[in-house]
Structure 1
Amino acid sequence: MFSHVFLGVRDFERALAFYRPLLALLGVAERFCDPARPWAGWQSTPGPRPLLIIGRPFDGEHEPGNGQMVALLADSRAQVDAAHALALAHGGRCTGAPGLRPQYHPHYYGAYFHDPEGNKLCVACHQP
Structure 2
Amino acid sequence: MFDHVKFGVSNYAASKAFYLKALAPLGVTAGGEGDPSYGIEICGRNNASLCLFQARGTPAPMHIAFVAATRQEVDAFYNAALAAGGKDHGAPGLRPKYHAHYYAAFVLDPDGHNIEAVCHTPTP
TM-score (normalised: structure 2)? 0.87
Aligned partner of 1:51 in structure 2 is 49
Aligned-residue offset at 1:2: 1.9
Aligned partner of 1:29 in structure 2 is 29
**Alignment partner of 1:79 is 2:76:** no
Check conservation: 2:36, 2:53, Cα contact below 8 A.
Answer: no
**Alignment partner of 1:104 is 2:102:** no
Supply the AA of the counterpart residue of 2:18: F
Structure 1 consecutive aligned stretches of length 4 or more whose deviation exceeds 6 Å: none
Match of 1:62 among 52, 58, 65: 58
Check conservation: 2:106, 2:116, Cα contact below 8 A.
Answer: yes
Aligned-residue offset at 1:83: 0.6
Aligned partner of 1:90 in structure 2 is 84
Gap change, CA 1:72 and 1:39, over 3 Å in 2: same
Supply the AA of the counterpart residue of 2:120: H
Match of 1:117 among 101, 108, 111: 111
Aligned partner of 2:13 in structure 1 is 13
For residues 31-81 of structure 1, what are the alpha-carbon distances to aligned partners after superposition, in whole Å with 9 as ceiling and x for unaligned?
21224435111233342xx32111123xx112332xx30001111111111
Q: Distance in 1 between matches of 2:94 and 2:36?
A: 41
Check conservation: 1:12, 1:38, Cα contact below 8 A.
Answer: no
Secondary structure of 1:98 counterpart:
strand
Q: Distance in 1 between matches of 2:113 and 2:8?
A: 8
Check conservation: 2:77, 2:117, Cα contact below 8 A.
Answer: yes
Supply the AA of the counterpart residue of 1:45: R
Q: Distance in 1 between matches of 2:44 and 2:75?
A: 21
Secondary structure of 2:99 counterpart:
coil
For residues 2-45 of structure 1, what are the alpha-carbon distances to aligned partners after superposition, in whole Å with 9 as ceiling and x for unaligned?
23212321111111111112222211232212244351112333
How many residues are treated as equivalent by the alignment? 122
TM-score (normalised: structure 1)? 0.85
Q: Distance in 1 between matches of 2:23 and 2:114?
A: 15
